[in-house]
Amino acid sequence: MKKVHEPFPFYEFSGTEREIGRQIGEEMREQVKSVIPYWYDVLSTIFPDKLEDMIAVCKKFEAPAKEYAPELWDQIVGIAEGANMTTDEILFIQGGWELDSCGPAAFGCTDFACSGQATKDGKTIVGQNFDWYPNAPTIVERIHPKGKPSYLTVTWPGHLAQVGLSESGFGMFINLLLTKDNGRVGVPYAFICNKILYQKNVPDAIRAVTQSNAASSFDYTIAGKDGEIVNVEVSASSTRGVKCGIVLPDRDILAHSNHYLTHYLQPYCENDQSSFPDSWLREYRMRQLMENHRGELTPEIFMNEILQDHRGYPDSICRHCDLTGPIGEQFDTVFSCVGIPEDGKLYTVNNPCENPYKLYTL
């Protein structure tokens, strides 16, 4: 286990799933415990429920998660053992996103991918700005699971992988999709993200999403070192069940935010987008900036220009907290990522317009 403190705490773990979980719980015991009140403070702006009631609701995700990814449930058990907490509490850390997605607002991230003739050296570049409430307890982990590909992830203490790079040669980044009746009993997105990173190639990563029985509506941008780029949109409607759609790049460029791009899923999006109407603008702006640099795109252009873009400020690609707006929409870009799957390189930073990125490698 290794630990460094710039710009986010960095940890490295290896072993069986149970051993990795136990190491996480033991090393970050106080940090993991602190995520519980952080989540409750976030969710209490949306729901009047007591903490124990929220934990009880997330308990419903246990059976679907175990069936979908029993190996990741072993990691949940290990985290609970190491942190001296219950598995219900650790599941709440994962499933809080599903509770939040049922509210009137949710985070407003923007992701991207490009490859081939769109980039300067032909290599795939993939990443995102992740927008969330300020002071999110962000960490970086390098995980070496026994018998599975290693991966780099930007996540929270006690949380399974959120976004990152797999040793299999692809990256995975996500956005929440806003739907009126979002949220059902199913597999929390954290389990899906982590299982994606375990796959041997992009087709299997797609299958990890489409066969997930997802509990909430997310889109997953998956981009491989050989130029494969795909976005899998999931509509997890509480009344219609789970439906998936595929978005492919336009001339080696793909951008996504918080609305459906798949035409046959758009009717399932019943939300009038009163929350985050900027979603369309951020997706368009990301594509526009990438097109402006077509054939010359590099990690540096993303880090130094595109991901710092403030058009539409404060609800821009580089998002800043608007204290005059609804409390459920007072978000910052809490971390920004640029990954190069072929090289196993992941650059990340908080507040990209204010701080330099730090490089992590697989």
Q: How far is CA 179 from the centre of its chain?
A: 18
In a domain, 160, yes or no: no
For residue 149, being part of any structural domain is answered with: no
Alpha-carbon span 189 to 216, nearest angstrom: 7
Single out the residue in 101, 119, 153 at which a domain terminates.
101
Q: Is residue 140 part of a domain?
A: no
Tens-digit pLDDT string for the chain (362 aa): 444 446 799 999 999 999 999 999 999 999 999 999 999 988 887 777 899 999 999 999 999 999 999 999 999 999 999 999 999 999 999 998 888 776 655 567 999 999 999 999 999 999 999 999 888 999 999 999 999 999 999 999 999 999 999 999 999 999 998 776 666 889 999 999 999 999 999 999 999 999 999 999 899 999 999 999 999 999 887 666 678 999 999 999 999 999 899 988 877 665 445 456 889 999 999 999 999 999 999 999 999 999 999 999 999 999 998 877 766 677 899 999 999 999 999 999 999 999 999 999 99
Instruction: Tell me: do 174 and 31 sit in the same domain.
Output: no
Residue 181 lies in a domain: yes
* Domain co-membership, 56 together with 115: no
Contacts (Cβ under 8 Å, ≥6 apart) of 64: 185, 186, 187, 213, 215
Question: Does the residue 277 lie in any domain?
Answer: yes
User: Could you tell me if 91 and 186 lie in one domain?
Assistant: no
The length of the chain in residues reads 362
- Answer yes or no: do 90 and 116 share one domain: no
Give how far Cα 62 sits from Cα of 13, 77, 133, Å.
Answer: 24, 11, 26
Q: Per residue, what are the HEC states of 301-354? A: HHHHCHHHCCCCCCCCCCCCCCCCCCHHHCCEEEEEEEEEHHHCEEEEECCCCC
Q: Is residue 257 part of a domain?
A: yes
Same domain, 122 and 264: yes
Coil, strand, or helix at residue 57? helix
Q: Are residues 116 and 95 in the same domain?
A: no
Distance from the first to the final alpha carbon of the chain: 14
Residue keyed to tokens 């710039």: 6
Final residue before a domain boundary, out of 84, 101, 118? 101
d(CA 326, CA 8): 28
Q: Is 183 within the bounds of a domain?
A: yes
Amino acid at 198: Y
Residues 8 and 54 in one domain: yes
Looking at the fold, whether 50 and 17 belong to one and the same domain comes out as yes
- 93 shares its domain with 220: no
CATH of the domain at 218: 3.60.60.10
Alpha helices, H only, the chain: 17-27, 29-43, 51-58, 62-68, 70-83, 87-101, 189-197, 202-210, 278-292, 299-304
CA distance 85 to 81: 7
Query: Which pLDDT does position 5 carry in this prediction?
Result: 43
The CA distance from 319 to 131, in Å, is 7
Considering the domain architecture, whether residues 114 and 97 belong to the same structural domain is answered as no
Domain count of the fold of the chain:
2
Same domain, 28 and 174: no
> Phi and psi for 254 in degrees, rounded to 5?
-140, 135
Q: Quick check: is 18 in a domain? A: yes
Domain that holds residue 322: 110-135+169-361
Residue 169 has which token pair?
């040669």
Sign, Cα dihedral of 263, 267, 269, 274: positive
Same domain, 183 and 66: no
